[in-house]
Structure 1
Amino acid sequence: MARLLGIICCVVLTGSAYAQQPKNSGSGSIQSYEYQLVTEGIDIPWGMTWLDKKTILVSDRKGELRIISNGVLLNEKVTGLPELRAEGQGGLLDVAVDPNYAQNNLIYFSYSGLEGEGQGAHTSVVRAKLQDFKLTEQSVIFEAGPNTTKGQHYGSRLTFDKQGYLYISSGDRGNRDVNPQRLDRDAGKIHRINGDGSIPKDNPFVAQKDANPSIFSYGHRNPQGMAMHPVTGDIWTHEHGPKGGDEINIIRKGANYGWPVISFGVNYSGSSFTELTAKEGMEQPQWYWVPSIAPSGMTFVTSDIYPDWKGKIIVGSLKFAYLVALELEGDKVLSQEILFPDIGRVRNVKQGADGYLYVATDGAGIFKIVPSK
C-alpha cells in the first residue's frame, strides 16, 4: 500500500498534440511521446477490444457497438444488441473478445440489463458471435441481481485470465450499506465464470449456503478498471472511492476488500462514514488516491514501443483528464507519474494488438500514443 500525490511532467504543445517527456530513470536515453486523434464520433467509448491488429471493436455507452478499421470509424453499426437501460451510468459498457476469437468469432459485452429479478437494471453479460456487422447465437451468461432503479455504480469491466476464466466487475449499485458485504447479492463484487456462463468448481463460495457461486471477491465499491498482469497472471483492478479513497487492488480468491467498512475516503459532503482505514480480515489496497482521480480503464504496458513505460500500469482519470503511469516493483506500486494533462475525460486506456496505447475519452475522441518524431 502506498500513496503519492504525483508530479506533473513537463509538456510542450506540438501542433494538435501534446508531447510527453518521461522522467529519466538513469538507465539510458528517454523517449518523447505524443497523442494523435484516431477518430471522433463515439460519445462515450466505454469498452475497446481488438478483433485483429487493424480492427477495433468499441462500445458506445448510449447503446451502440462500432468498428474502427485501419483507423477509420465505419458508418455501419453492429446490430442485434439486447434491450438495455442507457440511463445514468448505465448503457452498453465493456466489450472483450474470446481468447480463441480467431477460431470462434465469440465476443462478450456487459450492459445495464433488465434480465435480473425486480424493477430496474443491473450488470448483465452476453456472449455472441460477431459475423459481419451482426450479433448471432447470443446467450446471457451472467445477470447480476437483484435489479435496482438506481443509475450508478455498474462496475462492469471484463477480463480473461491465462486459464480462460472470465472476470466481471460489478459495482455496489449505490447501496453501500447492504450490497458489498452480502454474499447473497451480486453487487460490489468481482465474479469469475467460464466462457459459457458456468461456474468454475474451485470458486471460493461454491459450497457456501446463501452465497452466490460466481463471486470471486467482495467488498468493492465501483471497479471500472481491470487487467491481467502479463507475467504473474493476477487480476488487478481499480475502483472509485467516494470523496477520496480510489484504490488499486490485486484480486485474491475469496478476499474481502472492505467497502464500506474501511476506506480512505469520506462522503461527498465531507462527513465521515467510517473511522477505519484497516481491519483484520480485509485487504489493503496496493495504492490509493486522496483526492480522488476518478479512475477509469487500465492496462499493463508490455510493448517495446514504450521503453520508458514498459512494465508500468497506465490508468485513466475522468476527473482530471489525464493518464497516470504507475511504477511497479513486484506486486508493489512505488510511485506515479502524470501523463498528458488535458487529454480529456479518460474512459478507457488499452494497449492494442498492434502494441500501441489507445486512449478513449468522453466526447473528445479516441487517441493513439506514438513516439514523437
Structure 2
Amino acid sequence: MIRILALIVAATAVGITATAQVTQGRPNAGFDPAFPEQTRAPALPDTPVTVEVFVDGLESPWGIAPLGNGQFLVTEKPGALRVINADGGVSAPLQGLPDVAAQGQGGLLDVAVSPRFTQDRTVYWTYSKAVRGGFVTAAARGVLSSDGSLNGVSDIFVQDNPARNGRHFGSRIIPTEDGTVWITTGDRGAGDSGTLVQDIESTHGKVIRINADGTAPADNPFVGRAGDDRIWSLGHRNIQGAALGPGGLWTVEHGPRGGDELNQPQAGLNYGWPVVSYGINYRGSDVGQGAARGPGFEEPVYYWDPVIAPGGMMFYDGPYADWQGDLLIASLNPGALVRLKLRNGRVIGEERMLTDVGRIRDVQVLDGGAVLLLLDAGEVLRVTPG
C-alpha cells in the first residue's frame, strides 16, 4: 500500500541567488580546488517535495530499473531480483539468475533493461561472482519471459584479478541505443596500494565499455594497442553512480576520507586514483603522492570533502522546471538526495534534500516527473517536487 510519509514545503526562488555553501562540515584535507566551481558550490533554494512510501519490506535493495506500465525491476543484494508492480506490490524472486556471491559490499548489484526492451525483453545486471582465487565484479544479461523467469542467461563481463575481500565492486551498468554497454568497477578495496587501478591490462578501478555480447567496440581507446581493449578510462576508486547526460557518460565515485568525485570520463584518460586524490586515507595519512593533482591525471568536474558516499544517479528530464537538466545523486553517508545544477559542464549550485531518511542507494526519474529513491533500509520512496 502506498502511503504519504511527509509533505515538505520550503520557500522557493527563481534562479540561484544564494551564495552560502551547503552545510557539510570541515574538510578532511586542506587542498585547494583547481577551479572555483570544483567544490562547495552555492546552496540552491530549497525545493518543496511530497514524499510517499511506495514499497517497503525489501532486503538490502541496490538497483532499480523501469519495465514500463508502472512496473520496475529491483535487485536485493543477497541475490534476489523482483518485480515491483504499479500498486507497490512486490513479486517473488525471478528464476534464472546465476549464483551470486553476497560477500561484504558484494551481491546482486545494479539492474537495467535494454533500450529496446519492448521488442527484445533483455535485462542486464551486475553482481559479485565467486571465481578461483576470490571474487570479481561480473555483468550478465538474459531475456525476461512472460512467466517471470530469465532465459538465455550469460555473462558478458567478468573482471580479472580476483580478490578475497568483499569491498569495492562498483558497479553500475548502462545499455545504450548504439548497442554498447557501460560498466563501472572499483579497486576491490586495495586502497592507495592498488597498483592494478593504474594498470591498463587490469579492469580494476575502470570504466568498461563493451558490446552487448561482451566484445570490445572497435573505437575503444585500447583496441589495437597495449591494454585491455574493454577499458574506456582508468584511475577510479569505486564508481557506484553512472548516468547518461550532456556530452555522454557521467560517473560519481567514492573517495577515501574526502575526495568523492563527479567525472565525465573520456576515452583513454586517467583520473588519478590511487596516486592523487582530494581526500586522505581513513587512517589520516596521505594518499599516494600526497597531492590532489598531478601531470597526466584528469581533474574531477566536482568533488566533496567531507564525502557524500554516492550511490546511483540520474539527470532529471521531468516537467518540474526548476530541476530540468539537474543531476540527482543518492547519498549513503550522511544520507540525502543531492541535487547539482550544471552550466557549461560546471556545477553552479547544490541542494541536499531528505537528510533524515537514511542511506539512499539509487535514484530513478519517472516519466511523470516524480523520483523513486531506493533506501538501504528496504523502502522505495516516491518524491514529487513542487
Question: Do these two structures clear the TM 0.5 threshold for a shared fold by scoring above it?
Answer: yes
1:270 aligned residue (267, 276, 284):
284
Q: 1:260 to 1:371 in 2, by over 3 A?
A: closer
In structure 2, the residue matched to 1:69 is: 85
In structure 1, the residue matched to 2:205 is: 188
In structure 2, the residue matched to 1:217 is: 233
Q: Answer whether contact 1:20 1:340 (CA < 8 A) is retained.
A: no
1:350 aligned residue (333, 358, 364):
364
In structure 2, the residue matched to 1:112 is: 128
The percent identity for this pair of structures is 37
Rounded Cα–Cα distance in structure 1 between residues aligned with 2:46 and 2:252: 28
Structure 1 residue 208, shift from structure 2 partner = 1.8
Amino acid at match of 2:8: A
TM-score of the two chains, using structure 2 as the length reference? 0.87
Rounded Cα–Cα distance in structure 2 between residues aligned with 1:86 and 1:252: 32
Structure 1 gap segments, 5+ residues each: 1-13
In structure 1, the residue matched to 2:112 is: 96
Rounded Cα–Cα distance in structure 2 between residues aligned with 1:21 and 1:154: 38
Amino acid at match of 2:346: K
Q: Answer whether contact 2:12 2:48 (CA < 8 A) is retained.
A: no
Structure 1 residue 364, shift from structure 2 partner = 4.5
Rounded Cα–Cα distance in structure 1 between residues aligned with 2:11 and 2:327: 14
Structure 1 residue 353, shift from structure 2 partner = 4.3
Greater mean deviation of Cα atoms: 52-61 or 363-372 = 363-372
Amino acid at match of 2:10: Q
Rounded Cα–Cα distance in structure 2 between residues aligned with 1:192 and 1:162: 13
Give the match's secondary structure for 1:193.
Answer: strand
Give the match's secondary structure for 2:323.
Answer: coil
Matches of residues 33-182 of structure 1 in structure 2 within 5 Å?
33-115=49-131, 118-131=132-145, 132-176=147-191, 177-182=194-199
Amino acid at match of 2:14: S
Q: Answer whether contact 2:106 2:128 (CA < 8 A) is retained.
A: yes
Q: 1:353 to 1:92 in 2, by over 3 A?
A: farther
Rounded Cα–Cα distance in structure 1 between residues aligned with 2:238 and 2:46: 36
Amino acid at match of 2:347: V
2:298 aligned residue (283, 289, 293):
283
Deviations 1:214-234 (A, max 9, x none): 0000000000000000x43x1
Amino acid at match of 2:223: V
Q: 1:20 to 1:216 in 2, by over 3 A?
A: farther
TM-score of the two chains, using structure 1 as the length reference? 0.90
Deviations 1:61-101 (A, max 9, x none): 11100111113232422011111110100000000101111
Greater mean deviation of Cα atoms: 348-357 or 118-127 = 348-357
Q: 1:22 to 1:50 in 2, by over 3 A?
A: farther
Amino acid at match of 1:54: G
Give the match's secondary structure for 2:119.
Answer: helix
Q: 1:255 to 1:161 in 2, by over 3 A?
A: farther
Amino acid at match of 1:328: L
- List 4+ stretches of structure 1 deviating above 4 A: none
Deviations 1:8-59 (A, max 9, x none): xxxxxx97315153641359x9962121100012122211111104110000
Structure 1 vs Structure 2 CA RMSD: 1.9
Rounded Cα–Cα distance in structure 2 between residues aligned with 1:46 and 1:267: 26
1:202 pairs with 2:219: yes
Task: Tell me the number of residue pairs that the alignment of Structure 1 and Structure 2 aligns.
Answer: 352
Structure 1 residue 164, shift from structure 2 partner = 3.1
Rounded Cα–Cα distance in structure 2 between residues aligned with 1:206 and 1:198: 11
Structure 1 residue 250, shift from structure 2 partner = 0.2
